[in-house]
Structure 1
């Protein structure tokens, strides 16, 4: 394992949490108001959105280098979003099992091979949400089973076409962008099977 570079170490004083007050709670999130002390020593108020699930992102890759995107209306941004299959899973459940469920439910696919490739913080200024991303290969179809609030559309597109749409700002979902870029880098570095890398890169 490579040694971490020295610049990765923390600098300065951390935030200090003085007290907290639960403001909101539902089955998916809590909102907590904190009285805190900033790294500068100044008193501050801080609101944190805590997520009860881990976020899951799955990039399914077919042998021909294509992938599947899921289209749906997103409530918070009031827009329509094309994304890789995504969802959430309880923190006390193996993330891989949650990712497999999301791929089945949203894309109607099962995968023979699963590769964990990403663990990132989402909007880490105000939330503690963690996203875990997998590349799924060896795909076969199964029935979809979306949530009762989801009306989903599916499209199968070449990987490079999805990547170019993300880079053009047409796929603004951050997990989709991050996973497409990660997969592109892995294909360029031959960290994926050679035949798949060639198909993805066109």
Structure 2
């Protein structure tokens, strides 16, 4: 009997609850030793848009120039600057002027267009697939920074994570970016601390 193909492991992390937070995660371990740039090539940016963008499978996403990659990285860092300021005492008004202007400029561009196909399925398309997603990210960041949802933005409690996420749990007490990764690891660490012999008795 033929086995079903194993789906590929996603290259980039998702599940933060907002596209701007997912995009922030592409600078892995931000602020920690071992911080790593995941968008290190134009091909990596294309791969991120293919994986996390709103486009249907099979959409051709061209590989951008180095300049476009640099602009996307700048938008990502501006998102981080805005949300950091917004979560502080000064609120979104504390966002540095350069980063604010950069996000406003990016947000003014065309975002992915909704398209209803003949089967009644809503898909998305764009003349510039990468630019449209970056515009969507900028708009999402501006909206999040000025909305009540900002109070639900958390930093993962994992000691080697630093990813931000939107806590959508009812009590608002979620601690981990993902129970499958950081949450599970924390449980294992707690169990080992309480059971140094490795027994359950």
Does TM, scored on the shorter chain, surpass 0.5? Answer: no
Which TM-score bucket, shorter chain as reference?
under 0.3
TM-score by length of 2: 0.22
**TM-score between the two structures when normalised by the length of structure 1:** 0.22
More strand per residue = 1
